[in-house]
Amino acid sequence: MSRSGCAGGGTDAPLVSVIIPAYNAEAYVLEAIRSVQAQDYAPLEIVLVDDGSRDRTVERVRAAAPEVRIVSQPNAGVAAARNTGLREARGEYICFLDADDGWFAGKLAAQVDYLARHPDTGLVYHHWLVWEADADGVFRLPAQPAPVTPGEIVPALSGWIYTKLLFDCVVHTSTVMIRREIAAAVGFFDTTLVAGEDYDYWLRTSRLCRIDKLAATYSYYRAVPGSLTRQPKAVDYEYRVICAAFARWGATAPDGSSVPPEWVQARLAKLAMDFGYGHYHRGCPDLAWRAYLTALRHDPLRWRAWVYLLAARLKALLAA
């Protein structure tokens, strides 16, 4: 592992570390970095973890943004890259930014201010928008939308949100600011998860602290065709993450709030059904019928699962 660059700063304000994992990101990474550098907050360090890129990611960053601290490692996946960033980060507050995403101005100042005023909150996130390319394939910087609710936070998605996370990954990685001590208590991202490693991390975080959502939109997620998050997988990692959390902690949050366990079972059954649908229509009946069987374990009365199970099993036998 190699390092270059240094951190900036020099005020009495708490240092914020921004971790950017990057793999073959030369097309977009400088835009992401510039969105951080445009923030009206200091002191700030940017830690770019190059995950074994085979393009000119490192060279471009080194030439255009020498103040960025670059840590290089052999390719090991985004979870391992974020973990390297956590080890390297020196800030009191830690943020994550994917190399093809970006931030609107005011993000860091708003989140630092919120955490300073709410010492019982361990993680603060915010609203984000999906950034689609125009018809000509060009990504043009979107305008910052108005807040999604009148108040400072979104009450329905703030607090001890473990039970809400069981039904949706409402936290997007590029929106997060987490206290260093909370990140240390949560530990590292699970490198056995090819996808859903962030979902797992926020679920674990939700067992330790209050998580609040700002109503303002401060980040944009670039919807890149063919990206890893959009590619079909042989393992349903979202199902795996929720199933593990439910088995470990049940349907009750640390503050005592809870949901009926059968709701979680229905959520798991639906995930398995959706996974099965996707692979059935992609011509993978073996994966599909196993997914329908999983759905029936959670909800034996789901009649569509029985129908699709038989159809997928027949399709698999005919293809053999």
Residues 106, 49 share a domain: yes
Residues 207, 119 share a domain: yes
**Distance of alpha carbon 259 from alpha carbon 250, whole angstroms:** 9
Residues 285, 163 share a domain: no
User: Of 54, 95, 318, 91, whose CA–CA distance to 218 is shortest?
Assistant: 95
Q: Is residue 106 part of a domain?
A: yes
Residues 202, 99 share a domain: yes
Q: Are 225 and 272 in contact (CB under 8 A)?
A: no
**Distance of alpha carbon 308 from alpha carbon 296, whole angstroms:** 11
Residue 113 has a pLDDT of 98
pLDDT digits (tens, 9 = 90+) for 88-137: 999 999 999 999 999 999 999 999 999 999 999 999 999 999 877 677 76
Q: Is residue 245 part of a domain?
A: no
Q: Is residue 89 part of a domain?
A: yes
Q: Is residue 148 part of a domain?
A: yes
Domain that holds residue 297: 260-319
Residues 219, 99 share a domain: yes
Residues 160, 63 share a domain: yes
Rg, the chain, Cα only: 21
Task: Give the chain's mean pLDDT.
Answer: 91
pLDDT digits (tens, 9 = 90+) for 201-239: 999 999 999 999 999 999 998 877 655 555 567 889 999
CATH number at residue 37: 3.90.550.10
Residues 165, 308 share a domain: no
Eight-state DSSP code of residue 143: P
Tokens of 234: 């042989």
Confidence label for 8 from pLDDT (cuts 50, 70 and 90): very low
Q: How far is CA 278 from the centre of its chain?
A: 22
Based on the structure, what is the number of domains in the chain? Answer: 2
Write the DSSP assignment of 38-72 as a string of letters.
Answer: TSS--SEEEEEEEES-SSSHHHHHHHH-TTSEEEE
**Distance of alpha carbon 58 from alpha carbon 69, whole angstroms:** 11
pLDDT digits (tens, 9 = 90+) for 13-48: 899 999 999 999 999 999 999 999 999 999 999 999
pTM: 0.90
Residues 195, 304 share a domain: no
